[in-house]
Amino acid sequence: MSCQETRELIDAYADSELDLVSTLNVERHMQVCEDCLSAHRNLQALRSLMNDESLYFRPSSGLRKHITSALGAEVKTERRLPLASWRWLAAAASVALVTIATFTLVQHPKGTSAEGLVAQEVISSHVRSLMEPHHRADVPSSDQHTVKPWFNGKLDFSPPVENLADRGFPLIGGRLDYLGGRSVAALVYQRNQHYINLFIWPSIDARQMAEESMRRQGYNLIHWDNSGMEYWVISDLNESELRQFTEIIRNRLQPSS
């Protein structure tokens, strides 16, 4: 079997669509032709890249590893076969193009910025806490001196806890939650029939971020950074009252300002 014949069958071979005789012919050719063997491997690498669902959620680690090893394999082969090197460059370029396409696909269409992803998790956590009333608060208490120490030993930071009952936002309790790949503090407040979740965790970078608000899936979200902590507030409460809540919290945390 010639290289050209093999190449014509290689797609079908990769999909296990060939009959036994053709399969054996392709395999026999690839045993003696490094060129076609590598073409087949490259095809497989591309396919596994396109099929690996985990990559759509972890483009930075998994995808990079795949690409690096795929490119690394191609580069090694290229050194052994200098005459055919243009093929490997072309193959590497196609892998790179797929990479770019995949990254673009991953990062842009659904507004999946880092902030958007966090917002999505905040919403999920909030909804979950509303669906399971017994999970709304692991430590149901309106006493900040009960809720704050409850987090000791459960988190690698100590969240500020304030009861705002005197301002019309009584503290209901606190619970541990899991957001953005880390354990976070969730404080639950109530305003009439509306629940407010306040999520707190140490911010990754030290930048002081201006307050940002957004409205998603019927919920109002406000988030900001302060003194190395990241804060996310979410509720179905109307925006002006949620802003009021946020303002009170921020003033309590920063009495000087």
Give contact residues for Zn ion (rule: CB under 5 A): 3, 33, 35-36
Which CB atom, from 3 or from 165, has the smaller least distance to Zn ion?
A: 3
Which residue type does 13 have?
Y
Least CB distance from residue 86 to Zn ion, whole Å? 15
Comparing C-alpha atoms, which of 252, 78, 218 is closest to residue 148?
252
Angstrom CA distances, 166 to 162, 170, 245, stand at 11, 7, 12
Which CB atom, from 33 or from 176, has the smaller least distance to Zn ion?
A: 33
Least CB distance from residue 83 to Zn ion, whole Å? 13
Comparing C-alpha atoms, which of 212, 215, 184 is closest to residue 198?
184
Comparing C-alpha atoms, which of 134, 187, 183 is closest to residue 154?
183
What order of strands is seen across the sheet that includes strand 212-216?
A: 139-140, 171-179, 182-191, 194-202, 229-235, 219-226, 212-216
Least CB distance from residue 14 to Zn ion, whole Å? 15
Which CB atom, from 6 or from 99, has the smaller least distance to Zn ion?
A: 6
Which CB atom, from 38 or from 235, has the smaller least distance to Zn ion?
A: 38
Comparing C-alpha atoms, which of 1, 18, 77 is closest to residue 45?
77
Task: Give residues with Cβ within 8 angstroms of 249, minimum separation 6.
Answer: 162, 164, 198, 231, 233
Task: Give residues with Cβ within 8 angstroms of 43, minimum separation 6.
Answer: 10, 11, 14
Which CB atom, from 36 or from 119, has the smaller least distance to Zn ion?
A: 36
Comparing C-alpha atoms, which of 1, 44, 51, 48 is closest to residue 22?
1
Least CB distance from residue 177 to Zn ion, whole Å? 56
Least CB distance from residue 5 to Zn ion, whole Å? 9
Can you say how many angstroms the Cα of residue 87 is from the centroid of all Cα atoms in its chain?
A: 35
Least CB distance from residue 39 to Zn ion, whole Å? 8
Which CB atom, from 35 or from 162, has the smaller least distance to Zn ion?
A: 35
